Amino acid sequence: MKEIKPNPMTVHPIANYDKEIYVKPTIKNPQIIVGDFTYIADSDFESHVTHLYEWNGDKLIIGKFCQIASGVEFVMNGANHQMNAVSTFPFYTLEGWNMKPPALSDLPIKGDTVIGNDVWIGQNAVILPGVHIGDGAIIGANAVVGSDVEAYSVVVGNPARKIRNRFDDELIELLELFKWWDKSIDEIQALIPILTNSDLDKVRSCLREKNLERVKNDRSAIWGKS
């Protein structure tokens, strides 16, 4: 039997099941950028991105290997109304009202929404405009995320609040240095026993060795060119 290798451009990674898709090959909007192997538990990702308008210039940027549950919504800057005037009513968007669009500087534009790598976003969570979520974070079901989330932290609730870090500072630093999501498919295949091991002391030891090996290889490459 021919070996099937993971392919980030496959839309349906589960045979005969269309309610989970790899997002990257489905994207049509140039303001949405999604990394390899990020999936959503749905058949249409872009319907989960609301109020993303070209004239605001904002982007939704999502890293690799993220897991996005059903019902998640990414609310972009176009949802924001002018807040520095007496009325927040958007007359300029509605037929018949004599109002020119406000300057972008008069709108609460909060920049790009950026999601790191290997982030798990729970069912029906809402990610508000301009939020940055770090690598390895977990967003609880029904959370409303309006502020930045640290790497490898767990946040829950409305408004979302941090309840704990997933790991200690050393292991988080080792993971951020290692960046397993940037490895080749073959390398990641070999790393799965480490990435899925609940013996964190063993994982820590392996990552120390691999990070040290990478540093040595980098130094050798530099010295070899000199």
Please identify every residue annotated as catalytic: 81
Residue type, 15: A
Residue type, 216: K
> What's the rounded Cα separation, in Å, for the pair 179 and 13?
23
Q: Tokens representing 161? A: 């609040």
Buried b (16+ CB within 10 A) or exposed e, 91-126: eeeeeeeeeeeeeeeebebeebbbbbbbbbbbeebb
φ/ψ (deg, to 5) at 114:
-130, 120
Question: ω into residue 159 within 30 of 0, thus cis?
Answer: yes
Tell me the HSE value of 177 on the side-chain side, using a 13 A CA sphere: 17
Strands in 161-165's sheet, in edge-to-edge order, are: 21-22, 39-40, 67-68, 120-121, 138-139, 153-156, 161-165
Q: Pick from 100, 101, 131, 99: which is nearest to 116 by CA?
A: 131
